[in-house]
Structure 1
Amino acid sequence: MSPRAGKNTGTPHTLAFVESPVQLLNVLEWAHAQHPRPAREESGTGFTLVVLSPNDPMTRGQLRRMAELARDEGHTVRWEEARGGTMAPFRTIGGLMSPLRRADRIVMGDPFSRYVQLLLTITRAAELVVVDDGTATMEFVGQLARGERLVRWHRKGGRPGPRDLLFAPVSSSARRRLTPRADRRVEVFSSMPIEDIPEGVTVTSNTFAWTRDRFGPPRVTKGADMVGTSLVETGVVDADRYLEAVGALAKAHGAARYFAHRRESAEKLHRLAVETGLEVVRPDLPLELIARRGPIGRTVLSFPSTVVHTLPLALSGTDVRVAVCDIDPAWLTDHASPRAQGFLSGVTGTARDVHRLAAVSSGVGSAVGSAG
């Protein structure tokens, strides 16, 4: 059953598209930055938030929880079963034609999404806003600045497949649509370090003010927690090497819990729990909210990922230390993109307010910490 429609104060001029819980969180952060207000205060700034629902059960569950928070903020949530069968895309796009044409402003969480790129060919909105979709935002801005085709970082370097070639005209059109001009404003709302800013693009900092305003501060425990990644699932890191590294880090820092990424496979997580003894936690909300609500360990261990940028912001004012472990080049698979190591190193190297940990040597079972 689809979630019920939320309240709104009239026909919205802003239409937001999200496909993940983190994207939805960052749309709420963007809305708060536009119109900051005390928690639970009635607002006349609501807009329509369209969830292009994926099929993954974990992602759907987190999205439903986030959708309730969006309704509490006064926004209308439109839940689209965008991938529910062969005809679903046609029904979804057909139903969105009118709202797309009426919208003055489009907010999107994933400019690499083929769904979003297709929707961009329909709208004539004068204002486009890209909110964080994690580390992919860094790559998107760089590609836009260099005039390159929009390709996710872990796929870059490979030869385009038949579907890529078929979709190339739509992707090119979306890139042109996301390029500022006199009659079109483009904004990037991000907590990530943005260096190569394309001419005309406005970059606004996401400080996670909404998260800090609505949740916490958390109870901080004495131990350490670990944050999982989907680097194995995306084919970047070898599964055996990853599990060895997790076990070594957990032992070195006394970690007890492992917060799983929503894309991590059940098989890998079961093996991880058996081999490392860690308690695997499947969060029902994005980790930034889970950590802010608490309880959370005094040290949070992570591999290079979005959270090394976002958690220090969400946990600002607490005693929690975020520590990041570098990825050893030996962990990469033969299928990993040639850019993978450099990109992951950049994610770690540009993170603020984190502690750097040396990569865990395979079989050694120790990790050396160094302040960063």
Structure 2
Amino acid sequence: MTDLAWAESPLQLLSALEARHAGLLGPVEVRVRPGSDALHATAREAIRLGLPPKTTLTFTERIGRTGAAWALGDAFSGRAQGRMLLSRAPERIVLLDDGLATLHLLGLLCGPWKQPLLRARARPGAVRRGFSALAGHRLRALARQGRVTAFTGLPVPAQLLARTRRVGVPVISHEFSWLRALPDEPPPVRRCVVLGTSLVANGLVDRGAYLGWLGGITEEEPVAYYPHRRECPRVLALLREDPAVTLVERDLPVELSLRGLTPEHRVLSLPSTALTSLRVLHGPGPRIEGVGVPAAWWTERADPALRTHLSVSVLGPEFA
């Protein structure tokens, strides 16, 4: 029976392809949820570059049957949880990478059986909480039977790894071997690369402070700016007018679009899981630098717990 993967973001899709390349999945149909330009662009580029053997991509709204193994990109998705509850459980469930949400999910799976599987900062009603609690109960039960595996390129803290092993969820790490095997990508023309952020668009970081930081960088050297897929439109409008900024708008995740980085390149970014992905992908090559958010940049919408979570999870304890 063919395995099935369900992807709702570019990183989830790349993780599904890496899982097939690593042999964690057999012949697999990767179902790609429509409605996201970035996700569709990533799928089309993956097809152009060459999918792992015995892999097909399907654009559909339907999750479909669960297959022999079910690779799940977002265990917090209402669709995924509904399928988990309403269908016969597959032989195995593989939890794919979804950025920081992956670490949050692993932490929840190590918690009480009645704890619902809900995204960080989610404020659901009673019905959704109950629904997600049932999904969590079933996923933990499958883990106890040795039927759940996590697959990630993120470094998982040792304490969390120990807890996941105790509840029956082994964590398999990868180094983007499929991406590494793809044909070379032309390197960015600019030596300094800045990764965009969603923190401004989400109202967590002050726009003026962020633009001031970018202006300080471009006073020293021109930059190539790779926007986040949820970038603030006002920030992009201003950057388009700056002759020191080359906007690279390809609708692709940086794991794909920055495969051609060389030791001559320097990458700067506010807290982002892309920092970790690029470090794993390139190893000791380009300088990939995370930039801590100064206290004065945060808005009132960014509570202290969120600030610490974003900074420590991606940049390290020194940014707490």
Matches within 5 A, 1:280-291: 280-291=247-258
1:342 is aligned to 308
1:15 counterpart = 2:4 = yes
Q: Distance in 2 between matches of 1:246 and 1:213?
A: 34
Q: Distance in 2 between matches of 1:261 and 1:130?
A: 24
Matches within 5 A, 1:89-168: 92=62, 96=64, 99-100=65-66, 103-123=67-87, 124-147=89-112, 148-153=115-120, 155=121, 160-161=123-124, 164-168=125-129
Question: Which residue type is aligned with residue 328 of structure 1?
Answer: P
Per-residue CA deviations over 1:254-312 (Å, capped at 9, x if unaligned) read: 24210011222444311233368412111243211211145796111111111111101
Deviates more, 1:279-288 or 1:299-308: 279-288
How many residue pairs get aligned? The number is 310
1:85 is aligned to none
The one of 199, 206, 212 equivalent to 1:238 is 206
CA contact (8 A) 2:271 2:311 kept: yes
Q: 1:336 to 1:107 in 2, by over 3 A?
A: same
Q: Distance in 1 between matches of 2:6 and 2:231?
A: 24
1:75 counterpart = 2:42 = no
Question: Helix, strand or coil for the counterpart of 1:140?
Answer: helix
Give the ranges of 4+ consecutive aligned residues of structure 1 lying more than 6 Å apart after TM superposition: none
Question: Helix, strand or coil for the counterpart of 1:15?
Answer: strand
- CA RMSD for the aligned pairs? 2.9
Q: Distance in 1 between matches of 2:224 and 2:212?
A: 16
Deviation at 1:146, TM superposition (A): 2.7
Question: Which residue type is aligned with residue 251 of structure 1?
Answer: E
Deviation at 1:334, TM superposition (A): 1.6
1:303 is aligned to 270
Q: 1:61 to 1:211 in 2, by over 3 A?
A: closer
- Provide the TM-score with structure 1 as the length reference: 0.74
Q: 1:69 to 1:119 in 2, by over 3 A?
A: farther
Deviation at 1:203, TM superposition (A): 0.4
Per-residue CA deviations over 1:61-100 (Å, capped at 9, x if unaligned) read: 33333355575643122211x3xxxxxxxxx36xx2xx23
Q: Distance in 2 between matches of 1:335 and 1:325?
A: 20
Per-residue CA deviations over 1:20-58 (Å, capped at 9, x if unaligned) read: 11111111111111179xxxxxxxx421111122x3434
Q: 1:188 to 1:72 in 2, by over 3 A?
A: closer
1:320 counterpart = 2:286 = yes
Q: Distance in 1 between matches of 2:143 and 2:116?
A: 19
Q: 1:225 to 1:296 in 2, by over 3 A?
A: farther
Q: Distance in 1 between matches of 2:194 and 2:69?
A: 38
Q: Distance in 2 between matches of 1:231 and 1:207?
A: 27
Question: Which residue type is aligned with residue 13 of structure 2?
Answer: L
Question: Which residue type is aligned with residue 135 of structure 1?
Answer: L
The one of 139, 148, 153 equivalent to 1:178 is 139
1:60 counterpart = 2:27 = no
1:6 is aligned to none
Q: Distance in 2 between matches of 1:66 and 1:136?
A: 23
Q: Distance in 2 between matches of 1:120 and 1:248?
A: 49
Question: Which residue type is aligned with residue 196 of structure 2?
Answer: G
- Provide the TM-score with structure 2 as the length reference: 0.85
1:256 is aligned to 223
Question: Helix, strand or coil for the counterpart of 1:189?
Answer: strand
The one of 42, 49, 61 equivalent to 2:30 is 49
Structure 2 unaligned regions, length at least 5 = none
Q: Distance in 2 between matches of 1:60 and 1:265?
A: 21
Q: Distance in 1 between matches of 2:80 and 2:168?
A: 22
Deviates more, 1:298-307 or 1:280-289: 280-289
CA contact (8 A) 1:135 1:306 kept: yes
Deviation at 1:346, TM superposition (A): 1.1
The one of 4, 13, 25 equivalent to 1:24 is 13
Deviation at 1:181, TM superposition (A): 4.0
Question: Which residue type is aligned with residue 107 of structure 2?
Answer: G
Structure 1 unaligned regions, length at least 5 = 1-10, 37-44, 83-91, 360-372
CA contact (8 A) 1:226 1:250 kept: no
